[in-house]
Amino acid sequence: MRITFSVVKAAALELLDGTVRRDPTRVRELLHADFIEIGRSGRRWTRDETVAALALESEHVPPHTDERSFIEVAPSLILVTYRITGTAGSSRHSSLWDVDGPAPVIRYHQGTVVPPEGDD
């Protein structure tokens, strides 16, 4: 079965949901074993560090996302880009999703802060 963009979008949106983010079992299912994130701060996060940090998050309103783009960069990889706007300002995000298995898993994620002047 070929994984569609809509399945990847649903998985990506799950990772923005506070209930899912605080569920280590579900987060591990969504993150590839070799997952790496470069956060908005520039810090590099491993899968285990990400799972642990998300489990400790407090409840918050999910951020607004827009400008979503899905690009198949290889038969088993989809690049997802989007913008988040929330109380901490705006940031642009890119994620590389592996769609080779039965469900999509995120292999890499990077967030970049958008300057307050809106130079995006």
* Each residue's pLDDT tens digit, 54-91: 999 888 777 889 999 999 999 999 999 999 998 778 99
Q: Is the pLDDT of residue 119 over 60?
A: no
Domain parsing of the chain, residue ranges:
5-113
Per-residue confidence (pLDDT) for residue 116, from 0 to 100:
82
Contact of 82 with 71, CB cutoff 8 Å: no
What predicted TM-score, i.e. pTM, was given to this entire model? 0.89
Retrieve residue 57's tokens. Answer: 């998050």
Query: Which 3-state string (H, E, C) describes 43-73?
Result: CEEEHHHHHHHHHCCCCCCCCEEEEEEEEEE
pLDDT, one tens digit per residue, over 4-57 is: 899 999 999 999 998 999 999 999 999 999 999 999 889 999 999 999 999 998
Model confidence at 120, pLDDT cuts 50, 70, 90, reads low
Domain 5-113 -> CATH class: alpha beta
pLDDT for res 21: 93
